[in-house]
């Protein structure tokens, strides 16, 4: 199928990025939101982004920002905007009832061939599409933030997606430019919480909750904890604030419901959430952000609670669960997905020979934290995952 017209629903952080990159890919884009003000904001950000590329001479075929913006329309009425669409990408707030409503309206008004994709980070694509009247044409298309710079797009099979819909989604995803390197498209074979990238890293949050709570109990400062984890792109508490305490809290509640109760938010995260200290966006979280990005006091010493060997073993174990559940059938896909979505080397390749040691690390972690979720899964213990390249 030849895609020409794309409707992006939701003009927020993700929607405007998806729209900008789709325009750059040569598509006509209609941006839909619920208020004129949100549409204007989204459109202005797209235009700013295009002008910046123009000023750096980075627009293709000697085109100007105006050439691309000509192909960008806005609308407050999805039922009209979708009438001549070939593909819809939904990027509205992360609420199931809102997403289901968008899919129902789109399904009622779009041409029969139109594919309906959701950019949800966590929710079931199968459920989102169930009232659309075309479940075989519903797929997941999960971009990463910021869309222009993060190379990964996960294309997700719902329980009902047809092979043809997935192929159209994969081809479209491959045609979307990326400003930093070549896009990597991961095909996600099962509609399971967190898909691949977020799923493999999710249980590290169980360990982080243990570390935050232990640190508070033993009276260490966040500077001392952050000195434990120095060397990464951002220290632990600053990263948590940057992502948003509410995002972590809701994500952990969701995984507690769908994967294991061990994901339930810890004491520290729950307290910050209840006090409305949501991180960078509210000016206060673990840290004070009122004067800009906080700096770690390197002279504070170390808490010596956080140990890097645990997250690596945790991600290897979760990668094996992802293989066990058939979410992908290749560990190389897991490593490549993590690199493209988080700029993080994956846990699988480095452990092909050393995985028995990681099994011991995981057993130690179960002892330390009391969290059964860290028990090495069957596929990891058997070593058979090594052949699933």
Ligand X SMILES: NC(=O)c1ccc[n+]([C@@H]2O[C@H](COP(=O)([O-])OP(=O)(O)OC[C@H]3O[C@@H](n4cnc5c(N)ncnc54)[C@H](O)[C@@H]3O)[C@@H](O)[C@H]2O)c1
> Closest separation between CB of residue 123 and ligand X, Å?
7
Q: Which has the closest alpha carbon to 305: 253, 227, 361, 364?
A: 227
Query: Is 38 a binder of ligand X (CB under 6 A)?
Result: yes
CB 365 within 8 A of CB 207: yes
Q: Where are the alpha helices (DSSP H) in the chain?
A: 13-24, 36-55, 65-69, 78-81, 96-109, 125-128, 163-175, 197-201, 204-217, 222-228, 236-243, 245-258, 267-274, 309-324, 331-342, 355-369, 378-382
Q: Which is nearer to ligand X, 186 or 380 (CB)?
A: 186
> x/- site string to ligand X, residues 39 to 78, per CB under 6 A?
----------------------------------------
CB 311 within 8 A of CB 204: yes
Q: Which is nearer to ligand X, 119 or 229 (CB)?
A: 119
Q: Which is nearer to ligand X, 33 or 336 (CB)?
A: 33
Query: Is 97 a binder of ligand X (CB under 6 A)?
Result: no
- Per CB under 6 A, the list member of 53, 92, 178, 313 interacting with ligand X is 92
Q: Which is nearer to ligand X, 141 or 313 (CB)?
A: 141
- Per CB under 6 A, the list member of 5, 30, 121, 132 interacting with ligand X is 121
Q: Which is nearer to ligand X, 144 or 374 (CB)?
A: 144
- Per CB under 6 A, the list member of 7, 29, 31, 102 interacting with ligand X is 102
Rg (CA), the chain: 22
Whether cis (ω within 30° of 0) applies to the bond prior to 146 is yes
> Closest separation between CB of residue 39 and ligand X, Å?
8
> Closest separation between CB of residue 111 and ligand X, Å?
20
Select from 31-39, 131-139, 177-185, 200-208 the region that touches ligand X (CB under 6 A).
31-39
CA distance 327 to 313: 20
At 331, list the tokens.
Answer: 């560990």
Query: Is 244 a binder of ligand X (CB under 6 A)?
Result: no
Q: Which is nearer to ligand X, 281 or 363 (CB)?
A: 281
Q: Which residues pair with 279 in a beta bridge?
A: 284
Q: Which is nearer to ligand X, 93 or 233 (CB)?
A: 93
> Closest separation between CB of residue 295 and ligand X, Å?
24
CA distance 64 to 157: 37
- Per CB under 6 A, the list member of 32, 53, 178, 188 interacting with ligand X is 32
The rounded Cα 282 to chain-centroid distance in angstroms is 22
Please list, in sequence order, all residues whose beta carbon lies within 8 angstroms of the beta carbon of residue 335, skipping any fewer than 6 positions away: 345, 346, 347, 348, 349
- According to DSSP, the β-strands at 152-156 and 138-143 are antiparallel
Sole residue written with tokens 């060397």: 231
- Please report, as residue ranges, which positions from 125 to 184 form the binding site for ligand X (by CB under 6 A): 143-145
CB 86 within 8 A of CB 5: yes
Select from 10-18, 185-193, 353-361, 373-381 the region that touches ligand X (CB under 6 A).
10-18
Query: Is 14 a binder of ligand X (CB under 6 A)?
Result: yes
- Per CB under 6 A, the list member of 33, 213, 226, 318 interacting with ligand X is 33
Q: Which spans of this chain sit near ligand X (rule: CB under 6 A)? A: 9-15, 32-34, 38, 91-94, 98, 102, 119-121, 143-145
């Amino acid at each position: 199928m030849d895609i020409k017209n794309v409707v992006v629903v939701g003009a927020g952080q993700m929607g405007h990025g998806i729209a900008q990159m789709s325009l750059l890919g040569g598509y006509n884009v209609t941006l839909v939101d619920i208020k004129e003000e949100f549409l204007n904001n989204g459109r202005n950000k797209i235009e700013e982004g295009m002008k910046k590329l123009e000023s750096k001479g980075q627009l293709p075929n000697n085109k100007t920002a105006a050439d691309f913006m000509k192909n960008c329309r806005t609308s407050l009425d999805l039922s009209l905007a979708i009438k001549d669409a070939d593909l819809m990408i939904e990027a509205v707030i992360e609420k199931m009832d809102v997403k289901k409503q968008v899919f129902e309206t789109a399904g009622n008004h779009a041409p029969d061939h139109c594919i309906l994709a959701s950019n949800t980070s966590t929710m079931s694509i199968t459920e989102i599409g169930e009232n659309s009247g075309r479940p075989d044409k519903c797929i997941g298309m999960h971009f990463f933030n910021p869309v222009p710079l993060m190379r990964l797009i996960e294309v997700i099979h719902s329980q009902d997606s047809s092979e043809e819909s997935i192929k159209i989604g994969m081809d479209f995803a491959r045609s979307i430019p990326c400003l930093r390197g070549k896009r990597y498209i991961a095909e996600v074979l099962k509609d399971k919480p967190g898909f691949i990238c977020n799923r493999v890293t999710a249980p590290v949050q169980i360990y982080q909750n243990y570390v935050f709570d232990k640190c508070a109990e033993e009276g260490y400062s966040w500077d001392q904890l952050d000195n434990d984890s120095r060397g990464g792109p951002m220290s632990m508490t600053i990263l948590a604030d940057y992502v948003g305490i509410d995002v972590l809290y809701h994500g952990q509640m969701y995984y507690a419901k769908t994967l294991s109760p061990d994901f339930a938010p810890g004491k520290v995260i729950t307290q910050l959430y209840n006090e409305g200290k949501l991180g960078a966006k509210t000016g206060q979280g673990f840290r004070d952000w009122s004067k800009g990005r906080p700096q770690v006091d390197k002279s504070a010493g170390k808490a010596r609670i956080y140990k890097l060997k645990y997250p690596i073993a945790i991600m290897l174990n979760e990668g094996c669960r992802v293989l066990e559940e058939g979410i992908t059938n290749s560990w190389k896909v897991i490593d490549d997905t993590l690199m493209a979505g988080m700029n993080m080397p994956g846990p699988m390749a480095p452990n092909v020979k050393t995985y028995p040691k990681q099994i011991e690390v995981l057993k130690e972690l179960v002892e330390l934290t009391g969290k059964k979720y860290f028990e090495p899964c069957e596929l990891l213990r058997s070593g058979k995952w090594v052949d699933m390249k």
